Amino acid sequence: GESVGLHLPTLSVQEGDNSIINCAYSNSASDYFIWYKQESGKGPQFIIDIRSNMDKRQGQRVTVLLNKTVKHLSLQIAATQPGDSAVYFCAEIPRGYGQNFVFGPGTRLSVLP
Amino acid sequence: EAQVTQNPRYLITVTGKKLTVTCSQNMNHEYMSWYRQDPGLGLRQIYYSMNVEVTDKGDVPEGYKVSRKEKRNFPLILESPSPNQTSLYFCASSLEPTGELFFGEGSRLTVL
C-alpha cells in the first residue's frame, strides 16, 4: 500500500538552533497530515496537523510546511531545547480511508548541549 | 485527567495462549484504534473503530481481533499468539476521524 517515509533516521542539533525534520509521502490523495513526538517509554503525542488545502501552519515554536507538488512535509522546531529530544513521526490519512492513519518510520532528534 | 489506559503494560506469554490487551478512554471519543510499533517500521494500524459495534481492519489485522461493545473500551484480542506478534502495542482514541490521536502509554508484549 501507500507509505509515508522520512528522510534521515537521525538528526543532531545544537541547543538553541532550529531543527528541520522532513517527510516524504507517496499518496497524492492524502488530505490530512499530522506530526507526532514520541519520548522514550511513552506513547506518541500530537504536535501539529495540517490539511491539504494549506501550505503552512504554525504552532508554538513549531511550523509544518506542506509541498503538495513534490509530496513533501516538514516540521520546523525553533530554538531547539533538550526537551525536544525524541522520535518524530509524520502521518497521513489518504482521502476516503476513514481513520486509517499511515505513519512514517520516524526520525530521532538529539539535542546537543 | 483525560487519558487512554492500556493494560497490561508488560506481558510475556507463550505461543498459543490467548490473551487480551484492554484499552479504555475517558474522553467520550467515538474513534479508537490499535497500532503496533516495531523497530524500523514505525506505527502500523491493526484495527480501528468509528463507533460502538463498528470496526474495520487496518494495515496488519492478521492474528488479531477487536470488539467495541462500549464506547469507552476497545480490547485487542490475540486468540493464538505467535512470536511474530512480539511488539509494542498502542491504543489511541480521537474525537474526529481526522483529528488528533490520543495514545496510551503502550503495552510491550513478548511471545515465546
Averaged pLDDT for residues A61-70: 95
pLDDT of residue A8: 53
On whether any CB of chain B is under 8 Å from the CB of A97, the answer is no
Q: Which of A54-68, B36-50, B63-77 has the lowest mean pLDDT?
A: B36-50
- How many C-beta atoms lie closer than 10 Å to residue B57's C-beta? 14
User: What's phi and psi for B94, nearest 5 deg?
Assistant: -155, 155
The radius of gyration of chain A's CA atoms, rounded to the nearest angstrom, is 13
* CB-based contact A45 B101, cutoff 8 Å: no
Q: With a cut of 70, say whether residue B32 has pLDDT above it.
A: yes
Averaged pLDDT for residues B78-97: 94
The residue among A30 and A111 whose pLDDT is bigger is A111
* CB-based contact B42 A101, cutoff 8 Å: no
First to last CA, chain A: 41
pLDDT of residue B98: 74
Which strand (E) or helix (H) includes residue A36?
strand A30-38
Interface of B with A in 80-99 (CB under 8 A): 90, 92, 94, 97-99
Q: Testing the interface with A: which of B5, B21, B30, B43 to mutate, by most A Cβ within 10 A?
A: B43
Q: Give chain A's mean pLDDT.
A: 88
B83 three-state secondary structure: helix
DSSP-derived pairing of the beta strands B107-111 and A56-58: unpaired
Interface of A with B in 45-74 (CB under 8 A): 45-46, 49
pLDDT of residue B112: 96
